[in-house]
Amino acid sequence: MANEDHSVVDPPPRGPSASPRIWTGLGILLAVGLLLAVFVIRQGDEVPKPTTNKALGSAIPAQPTTTIDEQDELVNRLEEILVRREQAYRERSTKTLQEIYTVDCPCLESDSNAIHELKREGYVWVGGETSIKVRRTERVSARLWTIIADFTSAPLRIETESGKLIRREPGGTDLFQFALAMPTGSTEWLLGRASSYQGG
């Protein structure tokens, strides 16, 4: 999931080439591993601020409203989202994407377009399994959390339905920041942003 370009291990075979649109969509998609670019998300509520005890003239931190169980729930949900995204690509089905992304997430359209191209060209997604190792979770607001994690993806192959290799991408590990949001009216956390993280 690095922002820098990955070199292709094997060049595409000679012969009829895929449409420019699929290389635009898949090229960008594969260059970052399994998640794309920067997503747009509504920030929602403000982060709770410390309250002031006027009698003592000191700041009293707001009472924590999260537990280890809540953080575990968010991490489990992110892992589920990543698994379901892989499933959407393997099955070449866009329906699942609508259940894991916020509606204003640009990746919803990008991934949908890439999956439509896979179907149109008769290509299949092989491998590319992912995993995360969480470093930190942070509550931004009541409806927004960020998760800093090492994101690891296995090698990925794009093949024809008959098994002919079209493109290969190496696996790798990169540090990413994921934003999980719960839009108004939703009962599940959705992925709203995934971007390369430069902090420690």
29-65 pLDDT tens trace: 443 343 333 333 333 333 333 333 333 233 334 434 4
| Dihedral, 19, 24, 27, 28 alpha carbons, nearest 10 | -160
More confident position, 164 or 104: 164
- C-alpha span between 74 and 189 (Å, rounded): 8
Instruction: Kindly list the structural domains of the chain, giving each domain's residue range(s) and its CATH number in brackets, ordered by start.
Output: 20-43+64-196 (3.10.450.50)
Q: What is the per-residue pLDDT across 153-183, written as a single tens digit (0 to 9) for each? A: 999 999 999 999 999 999 999 999 999 999 9
- Look-up of token digits 């000191």: 58
As a whole number of angstroms, the distance between CA 158 and CA 115 comes to: 12
- What average pLDDT score do residues 133-143 get? 95
Average of per-residue pLDDT across 117-144: 95
What backbone phi and psi angles, to 5 degrees, belong to 35? -130, 150
Q: Edge-to-edge strands of the sheet including 123-127?
A: 123-127, 156-160, 165-169
Q: How confident is the model at residue 79 (pLDDT cuts 50, 70, 90)?
A: very high
Cut 0.85: pTM above it: no
Q: What is the predicted pLDDT for the residue at 146? A: 95
